Structure formats: C-alpha cells, structure tokens
Amino acid sequence: MSQDDPVVPSRAVVLRALDAFQDRVRRMVGSAARSSSSRLALLVFTAIIGVFTALLSLPIATVEGTRTPFVDALFTAVSATTVTGLVTLDTGTHWSTFGLTVIMVSMKVGGLGVLTLASLLGLSVMRQMGLAQRVITASETKAEKLAEVGSVLRTIVITSTSFELLTFLALAPFMLATDHPVGESIFLGMFYAISAFNNGGFVPEAAGTAQYVADPSFGIPVALAVFVGSLGFPVILVLVARWRTPRRWSLHAKLTLSTSGILFGAGFLGYLVMEWSNPATLGPHDVGTKILASVFAAVMPRSGGLSTIDIGALNDDTLLFTDLLMFIGGGSGSTGGGIKVTTFALLILALVAEARGDRDVEVFGRSIPQETIRQAIGVLFMSAAVVFVATFVMLRLTSFELDEVLFESLSAFGTVGLSMGITADLPTSAKYVLIVCMYVGRIGPMSLGAALALRSRARRVRLPEERPIVG
C-alpha cells in the first residue's frame, strides 16, 4: 500500500464509533429529561416555533414575494404549531405554496406533539427509549403506563397517518370534481386532511369553507377527522386493541367517548335549534343543509376551528354556548385543547356526588381518587384564570366588546381557531396577548396536569380538622 492510498477504517471501528455516538446522545437526552420535562417541552416547543417563524418571514413564503411583518409571522407560526387556526392574515391569499406547506408541516408537528416527535426521532436513531424519555413522552401522550409509551407512539403514527390518508382520499376527488386543477386538488386534499385530523383550523382557500356548507362530501370527512383527532391517542389505542370488547375499555376511554358523545349531541341540537331561523347562518338553507351544517358546527368547538357558517353572525345565546364548548375542548392526549373532556366529566361527577351526599365519586364501576378530583379542580381554575387575564388585558388594549374579546381569548386558549372576525384588526399588543394565550393553552394544561400529579405527597402528621362555612 502506498502512502497516497486512503486508510479505510474497519467495520469494527465504525461500529464502535457509532455506539459511542449513540451513548453520548442517550446521555444528553437523559440529562435534559431528568433536569425538567416541562422545561424541555418549553425549550423544544419554543425552538420549533422560532424555526417556523423564520421560514414564514421569508419572501418566498408570500404570494407577493415580500416579507411578512414579524408579529404576523410569529402569530401564524404559533397558531399552526399549537394547532389553533386563528389568523391575522388571510391564509388563502397571503401565503404562497411554500408558505402553506410550512403551515401544513407545522400543524403536523403540533398535532403529533413536540416531545412525541422527539421520541420518535430518538427511537429511529437509537432503536430504544430510556426511562427519562419514556416519562416525558408519557406526560404528553397520556399513556397510562410507561410500558405503553412505545405502543402509544406507534399508534399515534399509524392512526394519524391513516386518518389523514383516508381524509385525503375522500377530499382530493371532491376537489377535482369542483373544478380544481389536479395539482391543486391534491394539495388542497392533503392540506385539509392534516388541518382536520390535527384540529389545525387553517383554510388554504380564499373563499373559505363556507362554500362547502351544503356539500356532505366535504363536511362529513372533515368533521369525522376532527372528531377522531380530538378523542385522544390513549382512547384510540384502547379502541384499536380492544374494539370487540367494550367491557375491557379503560375508564378514561369510557369517560372520553361517553362525554364526547353527549357534548356532540348537545352541540348538534343547540346549533340546529338556536340558529334555525337566523337569516345570517342557517335560516336561508334547506333542512338537509341545516342538519349538515349543525353537525359540522357541533364538532368544531372541540378544537377543529373550521366553519361553514359565519361565526360572527351567530346569536348571542349560540355564542355563549360555543364559549362553553371551546373551554371544555377535546380529549386528553389529543390534538384538541381546552380543559379536556375528562376534566369536565370528573367535575360534573363530583358535583353529582356532592349533591347526593356520596363520599366517593363513582362511575362505570370504579371509584375516582380524591387527588384526581383535586387535579381537575386545579386545571379548571388555572385555565379560567388564564382566560380571565387574557380577556381583561385585551379589553384594555382594544375597543371591542366583551363577547368578542372573550370569544377570541377562549378560542386561543382552547386552541380552537374559531373567530368572530376581529383577529386581523387587533393592535400589535393584543396580538401578542393571543400568542401567549395560544402558547399557554397548548403547553399549560399538559404541564399543569403533570405537575399536579407529581406534587402529591404523603404527610405523617395531620392537623386537626375544622370545617368553615361553605355557601
């Protein structure tokens, strides 16, 4: 061998180098996870928002080839990554195909969950998941056991991809049949599919979704994708594994499905009855269209954010009803926001038990631990505090009415995306308030629930009891 010949390392040397690199990656991930899972979530989430903000700030991201103002690029990036759907710029006319693709990718990342995505990348590189990584992933995916984390991750990928693909296969031919070019039909079908299942709420067409109010070929697939996405991956995992034996479903799955069904039924009847004669919403349509539009509207406050009727023209009682549905949101571990369906169910069950004088909160043959009820109460009051502060500050910063500001604040915190049409007219300071509200709405409940669960502690000494007057 001459001196000029390259030295080719042996296979053993390469394998040892790869093993050393993987060990270093594992130690770095484990160290970061052990320091604070909540801190890691915030750092990763913020970094990803920064990347998407930078991409949306590029001239290539707009139709006119100009730079988007920073606050609007940041607002859009946060709205897409938190799968909210509120916009300060018209999505269908302002953003180019590149910009819409960035928004679509950010919705996909936000729907999967930042820590979930990081864990999937770690699994693909290291072929295994350490304990620390399982803990932080379990806190996001709401896996009931650490051993289930791997199964939950696989279910997340398979389920989300499958439903997005099915929705795409339903929507792409519909777009083609409604006089869209082939390439545009494929892109729109893909965009709507990702936006629907991940509860993103973004609309890539200037005409919006109101043009499809009477088209079941659009309304049914989109509404179904939003509903399934809002159930939560832990529920989907149970349904996939035990769909033939409902008796073996977990309590969480039973609570989520039953409460979601009740909320959907109430929402459907509420919109149908309250908006039946409203000339600006359901009034001009025939009975079939009214039913379809009410079904669509009943699903969207769970965090879908799409609408086929004018939200700003809803009656006052319908707006208040929508406020409640947005505050409740979707299922735990889902792409939905709000206080979550199970939290709402536990609070109602606790009230019923208190009214009956029962010491225990029971449902489906199970007793709910008192610390779980306390966690639900904590999530309720912390969430209400965030909405109150955001509404109060925005009232001080704008000249809009209380019902309008409250609606936008609830939509932002619940990562819903429905709007009364005032978002684009907000001053810069108020836009930042909604940005924070969306950020807290996506990160806050997850971190708060995990923090409350971890703060449970046993005390050896208990103070004497004394009951204050209640009521």
Average pLDDT over the chain reads 82
| Domain residue spans of the chain | 13-453
Please give the share of the chain, as a percent, with pLDDT higher than 70: 78
The pTM for the full model equals 0.82
How much is the pLDDT for 243? 76
CA 412/CA 433 separation, integer angstroms: 10
Among candidates 308, 340, 282, which has minimal Cα distance to 223? Answer: 308
How much is the pLDDT for 111? 82
Q: What six digits make up the tokens of 306?
A: 């799409």
The string of pLDDT tens digits covering residues 58-105 is: 999 999 999 999 999 999 999 999 999 999 999 999 999 999 999 999
The string of pLDDT tens digits covering residues 412-448 is: 999 999 999 999 999 999 999 999 999 888 876 555 5
How much is the pLDDT for 345? 93
**Whether residue 167 has pLDDT greater than 70:** yes
Name the maximum alpha-carbon separation found in the chain.
94
**Whether residue 335 has pLDDT greater than 90:** no
User: To 10 degrees, the CA torsion angle through 368, 369, 372, 378?
Assistant: 110
More confident residue, 21 or 265: 265
CA 174/CA 154 separation, integer angstroms: 30
CA 72 vs. chain centroid, Å, equals 21
The string of pLDDT tens digits covering residues 124-142 is: 433 444 434 444 444 444 4
Q: What six digits make up the tokens of 231?
A: 């159930």
CA 289/CA 428 separation, integer angstroms: 39
The DSSP annotation for 279-337 comes to TTTTTTS-HHHHHHHHHHHHHGGGTT---SS-GGGS-HHHHHHHHHHHHH-S-TTSS--
Where residue 307 falls among pLDDT bands split at 50, 70, 90? very high
More confident residue, 326 or 111: 326
CA 84/CA 329 separation, integer angstroms: 12
Among candidates 49, 120, 41, which has minimal Cα distance to 78? Answer: 49
**Whether residue 315 has pLDDT greater than 70:** yes
> What is the 3-state composition of the chain as percent helix, strand, coil, each rounded to the nearest 5?
70, 0, 30
**Whether residue 25 has pLDDT greater than 70:** no
Quick one: average pLDDT of 351-366? 88
How much is the pLDDT for 375? 84
Where residue 357 falls (left for φ over 0; alpha for ψ -120 to 50; beta otherwise) is left
How much is the pLDDT for 35? 45
Alpha helices in 178-231 (DSSP H): 182-197, 216-231
Quick one: average pLDDT of 186-199? 94
CA distances in angstroms from 385 to 124, 339, 381, listed in the order given: 40, 12, 6
Burial 132-144, CB ≥16 within 10 A → b, else e: bbbbbbbbbbbbb
Q: Which residue has the tokens 């940041």?
A: 74
**Whether residue 302 has pLDDT greater than 90:** no
Quick one: average pLDDT of 207-232? 92
